[in-house]
Structure 1
Amino acid sequence: MKILHLLSTIDPRAGGPIEGVLQSGLSMRAMGHEIEVVSLDAPDAPYLAGFALRLHALGPSRGFYGLCPRLVPWMREHAARFDAVIVNGLWQYHSYGAWKALRESGVPYYVFPHGMLDPWFKRTYPLKHLKKCLYWPWAEYRVLRDARRVLFTTEEERVLARESFRLYRAREEVVAFGTRQPPADSTTSRHAFLSMYPQLRGKRAILFLGRIHEKKGCDLLLKAFAAVRDIDSRAHLVMAGPDDGEYSAQLRALSRELGIEDRITWTGMLSGDLKWGAFRTSDVFALPSHQENFGIAVAEALGCRLPVLISDKVNIWREVKADGAGIVGNDTVEGTIEALSAWLRMDERAALAMREQALATFMRRFHVDAMSKDLARVLRETANTRDGGIARGALAA
């Protein structure tokens, strides 16, 4: 099949959806499919050069919404070359532009919301939600309504998506999601990371890796760590990832107030050997998020034999808990304290068993090949039918 992915940006700082498109695209290309990507990035954006799939950068886009005048004409000219178009994400011009270009074209399009319909945003940002309510009937509602399928990566995400807006209609389907297996453990990646951060040698590193953002529960992690730090003097918190605005500075101030400044290492965004070295040299991965659709970094941690301490707002928590691949708590300071305490006090035999289970869970549930095969199945079953049939659940309205 010939498949076109559509993204607002491929900037790796934007998080998991970009990595998901890249890894699934490479996997599907290896299966014999032809994969191309459209983004609204400026053609001279520095991060475009290393992108491994065929890319059409149609920007620069304008404003926060990402208005891109070239998108609709380009889609109308080229869409007929593809068997399916997959829209990744909502709330920016690329999703509405896809609907505008394709709704009468006969080319089926699919939508991955990537957690952007989660009611957490409605509760946490009520003013922003009010603006979205005004916009919803004229754009995103139609985008979802006319999609051949709206693709959710977990059953939890599918159910939650129905709670955000009263007007909602979609042909829903839950598909597997995942990422590639991490590179084999190597002295190169470990050495690269520890050479950059020698203060971590001999430490029990508790790794947070992701955007430094309030929804990720970063403040919960700092407060909980301050409460458990005396359990093991070797325990050390590693905060790795790009920050949004001034939030990182607020967290650093909080670490000083809590008296844990000397037991936290802030790395900024990590990639390549430094990223994998962080995983391979850490003791456990922590993400007490208030809202997390899937969590590519959680899957990557599991693939590195790293147990995960996550909240029950990370939508794959049920699988992690059922397998015993980590510890699940509430997205509160108390819940995070319980998870950290349980790990730091765990005996070595139990910790080793959890490490082995982490890898087994990744291979069985979250490997990118499972995602690619499931996505290919959905496209084969629905792309060539006029109305796409009814996805194993029916039309939600």
Structure 2
Amino acid sequence: MRLLHVISGLDPQIGGTSQALRTVIKGLAEHSVMNEVVCLDDPQATYLQELTFPIYALGPARTPWQYAPRFLPWLNSQLAEYDAVLVHGLWHFHTHAVYQVWRSLKTGRPALYVMPHGMLDPWFQQVAGRRLKALRNWFFWKATERNIINHTDGVLFTSETEKKLAKLPFKPYAPRSENVVGLGVETPPAFTAAMGEAFREKCPGLPDGFLLFLSRLHVKKGVDLLVKAYRRLKKEGVKLPKLVVAGPGLDTPFGQRVVQLAGGDNDIRFPGMLSGDAKWGAFYQSAAFVLPSHQENFGIAVVEALACGKPVLISDQVNIWWEIERAGAGLIGPDSEEGIYTSLKQWTTLTASQKAQMAQQAVGAFENHFTVLRASEKIVTVLNRNKSVVTTN
């Protein structure tokens, strides 16, 4: 099967969709799927150089809509050459362009699916501070996005929760098929001394057993609530592990606000974005992972923590929370300061044996629900339902 993935951008700093795409490709490759990617990035972007799958970078894109003038001509000449097309994400030029070209094909039309990666979540239409973007999304839904959702071969979701939420914000909503395929992460590399050293360079003098937040410093992630709750518990005399707040966005106004909320507390460290050995060193040397997000379609970092044997303290707005709660792999609470305060306080009351058991159950949750193999098998099954797609071995 020759499969074309379409995405607006692959920059790893702009969110989880680009990382999810990388993971999907690795899983599908195990099923003899020939993966190719077309994106609207600048072809000179350094982050593209490290990728091993074929990439057609047709940017740089212009305007917030990510318009790229070379994209439509490329689609017109190439789209019919593929067995199937999988569009990642919504609200940008790539969805409109793919649908228009696909609809115009008289012969050789490939199967066409879209994977929203949480972008139909009602949170984005309801949260304060996004009113203009919410209005923009309504306009785009009426003008373009409803077509790729309702008139193509179907929609792929990463969880049952995402599927249920997708029905709420926009009408008419009537996909031809709704398919929960999940999402996975690769089994992490085994811990090495080099990982520990790489992380210590970012956080010198930090003892093992800290709490780890590893994500973008963005209001959606609830990191401001985490810092407030952490400092509140400290003022009450609760003994807490140190807290590492890692991720891109320190230089943004919100990132600076979070640093200010920390008030110079030396128990809260801000190492910036962690990758490679430094990232894995952070996971392995932490005691638990914390993510009190207001909206999280899947949570790749949450699953990476589980795979490293780390319990997770997350909000009930992380769409995979019920699998984690059922497995006993973490603590779940509301996406509020009080919610994360309660989870942190509960963590401090657990015995060493209870934490060790939760760590074992974290690995079990990963192996039972979130491996790349499970997700890729489901995606291939969906793609093979279309008679125009060649069955893989």
| Superposition TM-score, scaled by structure 2 size | 0.94
Deviation sequence 1:210-259 (CA, Å, 0-9, x none): 111001101110111112233225x1111111117311001111111xxx
Aligned residue in 1 for 2:143: 138
Q: Distance in 1 between matches of 2:201 and 2:220?
A: 31
Identity %: 40
Aligned residue in 1 for 2:122: 119
Aligned residue in 1 for 2:269: 265
Moved more, 124-133 or 372-381: 124-133
Q: CA deviation at 1:267?
A: 1.4
- Counterpart amino acid of 1:53? F
1:319 alignment partner, one of 315, 319, 323: 323
> Runs of at least 4 residues of structure 1 off by over 6 A?
none
Q: How does 1:171-186 map to 2 (within 5 A)?
A: 171-186=177-192
Q: How does 1:247-266 map to 2 (within 5 A)?
A: 247-256=254-263, 261-266=265-270
Aligned residue in 2 for 1:232: 239
Q: CA deviation at 1:60?
A: 1.1
Change (3 A) 1:337 1:27: same
Answer yes or no: is 1:72 the counterpart of 2:72: yes
Aligned residue in 2 for 1:39: 39
Q: Distance in 2 between matches of 1:101 and 1:283?
A: 50
Q: How does 1:88-99 map to 2 (within 5 A)?
A: 88-99=88-99
- Counterpart amino acid of 1:212? L
2:281 alignment partner, one of 277, 283, 300: 277
Q: Does structure 1 retain, via aligned residues, the 8 Å contact 2:91–2:140?
A: no
Q: Distance in 2 between matches of 1:179 and 1:14?
A: 18
Q: Distance in 1 between matches of 2:168 and 2:316?
A: 18
Moved more, 98-107 or 36-45: 98-107
Q: Does structure 1 retain, via aligned residues, the 8 Å contact 2:325–2:331?
A: yes
Q: CA deviation at 1:36?
A: 0.5
Aligned residue in 2 for 1:393: none
Q: Distance in 2 between matches of 1:95 and 1:160?
A: 20
Q: CA deviation at 1:97?
A: 1.1
Q: Distance in 2 between matches of 1:134 and 1:195?
A: 47
Answer yes or no: is 1:195 the counterpart of 2:198: no
Q: CA deviation at 1:116?
A: 0.6
Q: Distance in 2 between matches of 1:35 and 1:383?
A: 19
- Counterpart amino acid of 1:192? A
- Counterpart amino acid of 2:261? L
Q: How does 1:148-227 map to 2 (within 5 A)?
A: 148-170=153-175, 171-202=177-208, 204-227=209-232
Q: Distance in 2 between matches of 1:383 and 1:213?
A: 43
- Counterpart amino acid of 2:141? W
Answer yes or no: is 1:359 the counterpart of 2:366: no
Q: CA deviation at 1:29?
A: 1.5
Q: CA deviation at 1:191?
A: 2.0
Aligned residue in 2 for 1:28: 28
Q: CA deviation at 1:19?
A: 1.4
Q: Distance in 2 between matches of 1:158 and 1:172?
A: 7
Deviation sequence 1:95-137 (CA, Å, 0-9, x none): 1111111123222211111111111111112332122212211
Deviation sequence 1:307-365 (CA, Å, 0-9, x none): 10000000000000000010000001111011111112210101000001101110110
SS of the aligned residue for 2:266 comes to: helix
Aligned residues: 380
Gaps of 5+ in 2: none
Q: Does structure 2 retain, via aligned residues, the 8 Å contact 1:103–1:146?
A: no
Aligned residue in 2 for 1:379: 383
Aligned residue in 2 for 1:53: 53
Q: Distance in 1 between matches of 2:12 and 2:140?
A: 28
Q: Does structure 2 retain, via aligned residues, the 8 Å contact 1:24–1:369?
A: no
Q: Distance in 1 between matches of 2:72 and 2:161?
A: 33
- Counterpart amino acid of 2:75? M
Aligned residue in 1 for 2:353: 349
Moved more, 373-382 or 12-21: 12-21
Q: Distance in 2 between matches of 1:190 and 1:133?
A: 47
Deviation sequence 1:275-302 (CA, Å, 0-9, x none): 1111011110000000000001111010
| Superposition TM-score, scaled by structure 1 size | 0.93
SS of the aligned residue for 1:199 comes to: coil
Q: Distance in 2 between matches of 1:54 and 1:317?
A: 35
